[in-house]
Copies of this chain bind each other. A is one copy, B any other.
Amino acid sequence: MARKKSTTADSAPTAAGGSKSAARSERDRTTARKIENLADGVVSAARKKGDPSLDIPIRSLSNVSFNAKRAILEMGDARQTRNLFNLNMAKKYMQTLLIASASKQLIDAGKTASIRQLYYMSKHTIKGSKSEKTFDEQAESDGIIEDLEVGIDALREELHVFADSRGAMVGEITLTDAGDTIDCTRMGTGGYGIPSIVEPDIIQFKKCTAKFILHVEKGTVWRRFVEDRFWEKHRCILIHGGGQPPRGVRRLLRRMHDELKLPVYCVLDNDPWGYYIYSVVKQGSINLAYESRRMAVPDAKFIGVSAFDYERCGLSDDVQIELDDQDRKRAKQILEYPWFVGKKPWEKEIGKMLKNGFKMEVEAMINKRLTYLTEEYVPMKLKDQKQWLD
């Protein structure tokens, strides 16, 4: 078997084949420098016999706003100072430096870790105490990771921390992943599993003949499109995120949209959850607003399933799932998101769903005909821009 270690190491030193001695990527050098600066601040405060402190932007809702011009969620300027010599802050201060140090260790080793692994890396008994731990549970370290991300302006992926991966891709694109060439036209029925970290030093786009990206909600729907070779007929990339798309999928969508100039079309369930997934793909999530500028795709279009499709497509009542109170409540909340407010087509859409009194799943389209979804419904949607929601 031909080994390819050398190629991998050449083209993507910090990725799968990473080693301690390998030259770090520009991205890694930048992140490492940011962490070093953080540490230098502590040292210089200590030398001056001052109170070392960190300055962390506030991540709560009060500091998140919708930038209408850029059409994404953004974090405001409010910041919080975290002092070492303050009983209420000392533990969090120490935790922040521990996480920064673990991240630095990962970068130096050319390795990555999950948020759970980072928790275990950073957990130990505090010296001088009997059994007090630096972290008692993962929820603590997860929050600190987010603090560090905003504190030094580095994405989690840049800190070498990965999330669980979900989602798959096929279609008219060839990319390299850690030096391996992945031709997404030749990935069978399984597809290319989208990793959690898809930054440019790991994944590079090599060749793309696709004209657009079709993003569907679930693997079961994606499979129907793959099986019908939709990507070949329509020259596109087919991607799913296993429900709410994870960070890797969102970042990959954004990179393909930006770098390959590909429009992104979403086919999601006609329910509040589907609307919300669209909103996350397009504007970002409220919790992680600071990442929107690198993960959101403000140009993404919602092409279905629309509440108007029930009548438009002559669907039978077999596809109806009654809305419950929770659905109605969520729908009203979504209507109040700043990026939906004042958008007549969205008000009509969500209003129509509420009036229908039912939701509809993409998978229900099979009730009409086995290939209705892939051969009639979506092609019709792609053709008629008037049906798109923005």
Whole-angstrom distance between the alpha carbons of A18 and B182 in the complex? 23
Residue pair B185, A195 in contact (C-beta under 8 Å): no
A53 contacts the other chain (CB 8 A): no
Contact A16 B181 (CB under 8 A): no
Which residue of the partner chain, among B114, B162, B189, contacts A16 with CB atoms under 8 Å?
A: B189
A218 at the interface (CB under 8 A from B): yes
Stretch at the interface among A103-111, A146-154, A295-303, A337-345: A103-111
Point out the residue from B165, B187, B232, B316 that lies within 8 Å of A177, measured CB to CB. B187
What 7 pairs between A and B have smallest CB-CB spacing?
A177-B188, A114-B220, A193-B193, A190-B195, A180-B186, A180-B188, A190-B193
Interface residue? A172 (CB, 8 A): yes
Interface residues on A, range: 35 or more
Query: How many copies altogether?
Result: 2
Check: A386 CB closer than 8 A to any chain B CB.
no
A188 is contacted by which of B116, B182, B190, B226 (Cβ under 8 Å)?
Answer: B182
A350-368 residues with Cβ-Cβ distance < 8 A to B are 361, 363-367
Q: How far is the CA of A226 from the CA of B162 in the complex (A)?
A: 13
Q: Is A383 an interface residue (CB 8 A)?
A: no
Q: Cβ of A117 and Cβ of B189 under 8 Å apart?
A: no
Bitwise interface map of A from 194 to 210 toward B, beta carbon under 8 Å scored 1, else 0: 11110000110001010
CB distance from A323 to the nearest CB of B (A): 16
Interface stretch (choices A64-72, A80-88, A118-126): A118-126
| Binary B-proximity of A229-263 (CB < 8 A = 1, otherwise 0) | 10010000000000000000000000000000000
**Residues of B contacting A181 in the complex (Cβ-Cβ under 8 angstroms):** 186
Nearest residue, chain B, Cβ from A207: B1
Q: Is the pair B226, A16 in contact by a Cβ cutoff of 8 Å? A: yes
